[in-house]
Amino acid sequence: MAGTCAAHVLGLVNNFHNSKCSGGGYGQDCKQRCGACLGYKQCHQINGSCLEGCDAGFIGLLCKMGCSLGKFGVNCNENCNGNCGVPFRCNRTTGECEGGCQPGWEGPRCEEECSRGYGQNCEQTCGACLGYEQCRHINGSCLEGCDAGFEGFFCKTGCSLGKFGINCNENCNGNCGVPFRCNRTTGECEGGCQPGWEGPRCEEVCKENKYGENCSNSCGFCQDSNCHYVNGSCPGICSDGYIGILCNEMCKAGFYGENCKKECSIFCKSSRDCNHVTGYCNEGCIGGWQGAMCLQVAEKTIDTDCLARFNGVLASLCVCLIIIGILIAYICIYRWNLKGKIRKSMYKEDKETKSTSFNMGISSNKIDEDDKNRYQELGGTGATIRL
């Protein structure tokens, strides 16, 4: 009997070894189902063990037991992520979190920080973190501060009035058109600039020779310096030819030079009509005067034709004078000779009549009578000779 039973058992064993299970079965007549062997390969045909271990989500010799809580993967060797919506609760096969992720995490296994936004499901939008970098993925805070124009823990609050720049640390300029009112990001003034200032932030005074609102006004004629950039007044005196606070008024008619104190020349063609800067007469000089300011006596110009006529007249006059001189000389010589003859004649007659006093008286009367006759004769010739 005992021998028969042993033979029967031996027959069963031989039968096991002589028939190979397939299709995921094992045991007597391969009726038992294999567990989740790695790669879902055939388990051991006799005892159903998985010689290479279990596939994802299963453990045990037969790989028929699911992973315990918080485990997943091949042979349940991996841990579910604590960032899962229910911490450490995940699909035992894939490791994907159940119930989503904790705030600030994303991805199937909740292993990734929010790439955009923050908080639950990364749905909340970050503020203006410095450089517009990603905010803290969990609470949205900006660890390195805020970008220009924003302040606060989340960098979602715009700068308060009068502030701008990174973390709102800078002050708007008081020279803005509306003082201390500027763009909170760039600091550029709103409403332009106060008179005398220019530039995006109204930090620059008007450039050379400009002043006033928007630096659109031109300075007057200041001497040796620019005008005041706000009101245009000249700090010193005006250039020659100009007066007034702004040095933009020309001298009144008839005056010129520094402070318009000099008077134009009265010898200008139009009296006292001269250039307000130089004093030069605008239309030249009246007759007899010359120079830019008509203050020099003009040199007389000689008319050559007139000079020729004058020389002719002078020559004729000289000839006449010579002729008259000759005539006068001739008359003088003639008179002199006549006077000598008369004296000689009188002397001879006087000598002859001196013998008697009676005859002297007669002779004297006669001489007087003869002289009278001679005078009359000379008077007939047009010449008078007085002895």
Q: Is the pLDDT of residue 373 over 70?
A: no
| Of 32 and 304, the one with more pLDDT | 32
Question: 5: pLDDT confidence band, cut at 50, 70 and 90?
Answer: very low
Q: Output the six-digit token pair for 306.
A: 């007139």
Query: What is the 3-state composition of the chain as percent helix, strand, coil, each rounded to the nearest 5?
Result: 30, 20, 55
- Give the pLDDT score at 313: 74
- Give the pLDDT score at 271: 82
* 3-state secondary structure (DSSP) of residue 261: coil
Distance in angstroms (rounded) separating the CA atoms of residues 63 and 319? 168
Is the Cβ–Cβ distance between 222 and 233 less than 8 Å?
no
Question: 22: pLDDT confidence band, cut at 50, 70 and 90?
Answer: confident
| CB proximity list for 336: less than 8 A, separation 6 or greater | none
Distance in angstroms (rounded) separating the CA atoms of residues 345 and 368? 13
| pLDDT tens string 208-249 | 889 999 999 999 999 887 899 999 999 888 999 999 999 999
- Give the pLDDT score at 40: 83
Q: Output the six-digit token pair for 209.
A: 């020779």
Least confident of 9-18, 143-152, 303-312: 9-18
- Give the pLDDT score at 380: 41
Q: Is the pLDDT of residue 359 over 60?
A: no
Instruction: Give residue 177's identity as a one-letter amino acid code.
Output: G
Say which DSSP state 296 is in. E
- Give the pLDDT score at 285: 93
Instruction: Report the Cα–Cα distance between both ends of the chain, in Å, rounded.
Output: 233
Domain limits, the chain: 257-299
The segment with the largest mean pLDDT, out of 9-13, 340-344, 356-360, 365-369, is: 340-344
CB-side neighbour CA atoms (13 Å) of 373: 7
Could you give phi then psi for residue 371, rounded to 5 degrees?
-60, -40
| pLDDT tens string 290-308 | 999 999 998 765 455 555 6
**257-272 mean pLDDT:** 90
Q: Is the pLDDT of residue 356 over 60?
A: no
Question: 11: pLDDT confidence band, cut at 50, 70 and 90?
Answer: very low
DSSP string, 310-341: HHHHHHHHHHHHHHHHHHHHHHHHHHHHHHHH
Q: Is the pLDDT of residue 118 over 70?
A: yes
Q: Output the six-digit token pair for 380.
A: 């007939």
- Give the pLDDT score at 92: 94
| Of 18 and 81, the one with more pLDDT | 81
Q: Is the pLDDT of residue 136 over 50?
A: yes
* 3-state secondary structure (DSSP) of residue 46: coil
Q: Output the six-digit token pair for 208.
A: 């050379």
Q: Is 277 left (phi over 0), alpha (psi -120 to 50) or beta?
A: alpha
- Give the pLDDT score at 111: 93
DSSP string, 121-145: GG-BPP--BGGG----TTT---TT-
Distance in angstroms (rounded) separating the CA atoms of residues 279 and 268? 10
Distance in angstroms (rounded) separating the CA atoms of residues 343 and 367? 11
Q: Is the pLDDT of residue 173 over 90?
A: yes
- Give the pLDDT score at 132: 82
Q: What is the pTM of this model?
A: 0.52
Residue with structure tokens 């119930």? 99
| CB proximity list for 237: less than 8 A, separation 6 or greater | 223, 258, 259
**90-98 mean pLDDT:** 93
Q: What is the residue-averaged pLDDT of the chain?
A: 82
Q: Is the pLDDT of residue 383 over 50?
A: no
Task: Report CA Rg, the chain.
Answer: 72
- Give the pLDDT score at 23: 82
**169-185 mean pLDDT:** 95
* 3-state secondary structure (DSSP) of residue 173: coil
Distance in angstroms (rounded) separating the CA atoms of residues 220 and 233? 8
